[in-house]
Amino acid sequence: MTELVHHRALLTAGLLAPTGAGSGVTTWRGPGLQVVRRMVGTFLDRVAAVAPPVETDHPFLDPHDSYHRVFPDYANVYRLPEGDRAGWVLRADNLHLNVAFLRRTGHRGPVVTTGGLLRRMHGSGTPLFRERYIWPAVQLSHLLPAGSGEEALSAYRSVLERTLAAFGLPALTVEVDAPAGYGDRCHLTVCCLRDGRPTVLATTYLMARRYREALGIDGELVDVGFTGKVLALAAMHHHDRFGLGLPSALAPVQLALLPHGGRSDAALRHWADGLPGVRTALAPPHEAEFRRHRAERTELRGGAPVAVGLRLDDDRRTDDRRTEDWRITRRAPAHRDRLPGPPTPGDVRAELDGYDRRLLAAARGRFDRGLAELVRGACDRCVAGRTIAVYGLIVPRRPLPCAHCGDPGRAVLLSERGRFY
Ligand SMILES: [Zn+2]
């Protein structure tokens, strides 16, 4: 199964613990938790352009009655036996809890939570794609005045596309009919697997009236959700011969420091102190080349985008002049190079930006090739008549003649194999 490539990459990088594959529960290690936190932080930074977000967390046990009032139909949730009192649901959704938070605090949103969701599931699942315990599950809720839903959909489309671009993941947004009448409008943010097949990374709903009434809301309610599948896609797309290469927005270490000889470790640390906002890690100093290369591999396998090495010779037999040898290891693709001297903070920023651009460009190549056959024009009549296997309407609307009848139409995303996720 090609999807498991991402799981191996995340395991090897030390982001996941070596348990849980197939059990439907993924176990994250410390560095993985940092990456998740950076994923959420990057999203929140972009949400702030719409309105300042507030974060919250909900208890694991959710009273059955308030859950059932909003979600009466879902059978795939875990419940505790009822006993004497009303029963409990093991947290199966965040929407009603987010809305309860907004009501309690008087905040209008956006409110964002990152807690996990538990769902019943048949079979063994796929790590971060289909799981019993879905974590992280990022869910945003935003109350808006009636009539402003369209504008909000457009704003969140841009937030999601820009968040994914920061992770080196190209995306387009399609409007689809919401499953099970969940939303009045539904936007799916579509990226692609490494082989170019499209896959859904985020959903945005303008909630349907039935839900707004159950939640007791006037006006509009926007619900945005995405999961750790975003990191699975990043792991699928971004690796080279060193292993996983994280986009700089996600990497716990952006710049690995590789000392070699003399007082190079102190010199590297001093140099790195002059790089504001860059997350660095200093490898242990080693004399033997194979140890230095192993230290480099260890740092880069953890996802660090760039490594800088410094060799210092205290050669006192000649003229007592210290010689410096600065090296850089770039990634995507992996390549070692000499540097004329210590890079400036601007040089380091340019290295990180260049690396992020290469990741995004490589993924965009796969995305464009994968979706080339699937983006077509369709007129309203052919869409309504299902003459064309339309998966969704591409937003924003882009005029394109209908591929079936030639009438004026708009760009749509096709799916020959029905609905994909
Ligand atoms: Zn047509």
User: Per residue of the chain (421 residues), what is the pLDDT tens digit?
Assistant: 445 889 999 999 999 998 755 678 899 999 999 999 999 999 999 999 999 999 999 999 998 888 988 998 888 899 887 665 668 899 899 999 999 999 999 999 899 999 899 999 888 888 899 899 999 999 999 999 999 999 999 999 999 999 999 999 999 999 998 776 778 899 999 999 999 999 999 999 999 999 999 999 989 999 999 999 999 999 999 989 999 999 999 999 999 999 998 889 999 999 999 999 999 999 998 888 899 899 999 999 999 999 999 999 865 444 444 688 999 999 999 999 999 999 999 999 999 999 999 999 999 999 999 999 999 999 999 999 988 899 999 999 999 999 999 999 999 999 877 667 7
Do 407 and 326 lie in one domain? The reply is no
| In a domain? residue 243 | no
Q: What are phi and psi of 85, to 5 degrees?
A: -100, 170
Do 288 and 220 lie in one domain? The reply is no
Do 220 and 337 lie in one domain? The reply is no
Dist. CA 85 → ligand 1 center (Å):
58
Do 205 and 75 lie in one domain? The reply is yes
Dist. CA 381 → ligand 1 center (Å):
6
Identify each DSSP E strand in 129-288 by its residue range.
Answer: 133-134, 137-144, 172-176, 183-192, 198-207, 220-227, 239-240, 243-244, 255-260, 280-282
Which pLDDT score, from 0 to 100, does residue 320 have?
Answer: 42
Dist. CA 387 → ligand 1 center (Å):
8
Q: What is the spatial distance between Cα 161 and Cα 168, in angstroms, rounded to a whole number?
A: 10
Dist. CA 393 → ligand 1 center (Å):
14
Instruction: From 211, 237, 263, give the residue that closes a domain.
Output: 237
Do 393 and 340 lie in one domain? The reply is no
- Classified as helix, coil or strand, 144 is strand
Do 138 and 217 lie in one domain? The reply is yes
Answer whether the bond into residue 252 is a cis peptide, omega within 30°. no
CATH code of the domain containing 259: 3.40.50.800
Which pLDDT score, from 0 to 100, does residue 177 have?
Answer: 85
Identify each DSSP E strand in 48-180 by its residue range.
Answer: 54-56, 61-63, 88-90, 111-113, 117-118, 133-134, 137-144, 172-176
Dist. CA 240 → ligand 1 center (Å):
44
Do 228 and 349 lie in one domain? The reply is no
Q: Which helix H or strand E contains 77, and what residues bound it?
A: none
Rg of the chain in Å (alpha carbons): 25
In angstroms, the Cα distances linking 8 to 2, 293, 368, 418 are: 11, 22, 26, 29
Residues in a beta bridge with 89: 62, 79
Alpha-carbon dihedral sign for residues 106, 111, 114, 120: positive
| In a domain? residue 24 | yes
- Owner of token pair 């920023």: 349
Domain, as residue range, for 262: 251-354
C-alpha closest to that of 70 among 44, 96, 109, 39: 96
Which two three-digit tokens encode residue 98? Answer: 């987010």
How many residues in the chain?
421
Do 233 and 255 lie in one domain? The reply is no
Do 117 and 165 lie in one domain? The reply is yes
Q: What is the spatial distance between Cα 67 and Cα 60, in angstroms, rounded to a whole number?
A: 13
Do 340 and 399 lie in one domain? The reply is no
Which two three-digit tokens encode residue 169? Answer: 């993941």
Q: Give the number of other Cβ atoms within 10 Å of residue 105's Cβ.
A: 12
Instruction: From 237, 260, 278, give the residue that closes a domain.
Output: 237
| In a domain? residue 162 | yes
Dist. CA 365 → ligand 1 center (Å):
29
Dist. CA 377 → ligand 1 center (Å):
8
Do 231 and 265 lie in one domain? The reply is no
Residues in a beta bridge with 56: 113
| In a domain? residue 419 | no
Which pLDDT score, from 0 to 100, does residue 421 have?
Answer: 74
Dist. CA 390 → ligand 1 center (Å):
12
| In a domain? residue 244 | no
Do 12 and 157 lie in one domain? The reply is yes
| In a domain? residue 116 | yes
Dist. CA 413 → ligand 1 center (Å):
14
Instruction: From 237, 271, 298, give the residue that closes a domain.
Output: 237
CATH code of the domain containing 67: 3.30.930.10
Longest dimension (CA), the chain: 88
Q: Give the number of other Cβ atoms within 10 Å of residue 164's Cβ.
A: 24
pTM of the model: 0.94
Dist. CA 405 → ligand 1 center (Å):
4
Tell me the angle at which helices 229-237 and 4-12 cross, rounded to the nearest 10 degrees: 80
Which two three-digit tokens encode residue 278? Answer: 């860059």
| In a domain? residue 313 | yes
Which pLDDT score, from 0 to 100, does residue 261 have?
Answer: 87
Q: What total of structural domains would you count in the chain?
A: 3
| In a domain? residue 61 | yes
